[in-house]
Amino acid sequence: MEEMEEFEVKPDVSEEMLKERRAAVVYLLGGVFLTVMTIGVRFRAVGIFLAGLAIAYGFGALMSKGREDKKRGLVMLGAGVIGFLAMFGPGLSKSFAMLFLWMGAVGLLASGIWSGVMFLILKRKK
């Protein structure tokens, strides 16, 4: 009888690489948009435009069939509402809204950088 050779089966990292690359791009773009919107709410016309754009995108994404699109839509809808609250909310709510916008922007940028690093690690392994 022939002896079977043992060999190591490497998992397909290409699917995981695509997932990390896509996540990095989406998170970084979201973080940049949220940063621009946070700065823009200090100027009423720019803030109204950007917060309205976030709400419009959020509603559009919520109507899609994809589960990930619905999650992004809900986040963008929330960001738009918080943007309007930062401009037109009463007293202390403006400060909390600005804090939430900055925290969201930093969180998305950090997630994007992390996903980008994971993508590079997976790419290097391949």
CB atoms within 10 A of CB 46: 14
Number of structural domains (the chain) is 1
The residue with tokens 């994404």 is 61
CA–CA separation, 69 and 43 (whole Å): 29
User: Lowest-confidence range among 4-8, 32-36, 63-67, 74-78?
Assistant: 4-8
**pLDDT band per the 50, 70, 90 thresholds, residue 3:** low
User: Per the domain annotation, does 5 fall within a domain?
Assistant: no
Residue 78 lies in a domain: yes
Q: Rounded to an integer, what distance in angstroms lies between the CA atom of residue 110 and that of residue 31?
A: 8
Which residue range forms the structural domain that includes residue 91?
Answer: 32-117
Q: Is residue 23 part of a domain?
A: no
- Does residue 20 lie within any of the structural domains? no
Residue 47 tokens read as: 């803030």
In the 8-state DSSP scheme, what is residue 107?
H
**So what's the pLDDT on residue 31?**
94
How far apart are alpha carbons 81 and 95 in whole angstroms?
A: 14
Per the domain annotation, does 81 fall within a domain? yes
Q: Is residue 8 in some structural domain?
A: no
Decide: 105 and 38 in contact? Cβ < 8 Å.
yes
Q: How far apart are CA 83 and CA 71, in angstroms?
A: 18
Is 75 inside a domain boundary?
yes
Residue 86 lies in a domain: yes
98, 41 contact by CB (below 8 A): yes
Amino acid at site 3: E
3-class secondary structure, 81: helix
C-alpha R_g of the chain: 20
| pLDDT at position 115 over 80 | yes
Tokens of 55: 């709400």
pTM score, whole prediction = 0.81
Q: What is the pLDDT of residues 80-113, one digit of tens each?
A: 999 999 999 888 999 999 999 999 999 999 999 9
